[in-house]
Amino acid sequence: MAMPNFSDQRCDYRNLINTEVSVTIIDQEGNTQIDAVCRDYSATGISIELNHPLALGTQVNITNRHFDAGLSAIDCQGSVVRVIEEASDAFLIGIVLSDDTAED
């Protein structure tokens, strides 16, 4: 019997999607809105793809730009906890959801 692969030890099931979202960067200089692609989400986190990195700890709000009948609306807040450069113009951004968002 083969042993399961535990390299990804997340507590929550990840829903894989590729949908456009709007990301609002929340800062003191004024909120900046940018377009991104949501790659996946779970009850406690979400990953998005951007063409530039975000600093760790950056506070963001994420909402759907367009969604169809097969996808629930996305409206969440959180902070950046991981940035992975996949190509010179593609960065995978890991966001942990704030407690009040994760409970909804």
Do 44 and 66 contact (CB within 8 A), yes or no?
A: no
E strand intervals along the chain: 15-26, 32-41, 45-50, 59-64, 75-87, 90-97
Tens digit of each residue's pLDDT (9 = 90 or more) over 49-91: 999 999 999 999 999 866 565 666 788 999 999 999 999 999 9
pTM for the full predicted model: 0.78
Domains assigned to the chain: 15-103 (2.40.10.220)
C-alpha distances in angstroms, 8 versus 11, 12, 28, 39, 55? 9, 11, 35, 16, 23
Structure confidence at residue 68 (pLDDT): 62
pLDDT on residue 17: 80
Band of the pLDDT at 99, cuts 50, 70, 90? confident
Q: Which helix (H) or strand (E) holds 6?
A: none
18-55 tens-digit pLDDT: 889 999 999 888 889 999 999 998 889 999 999 999 99
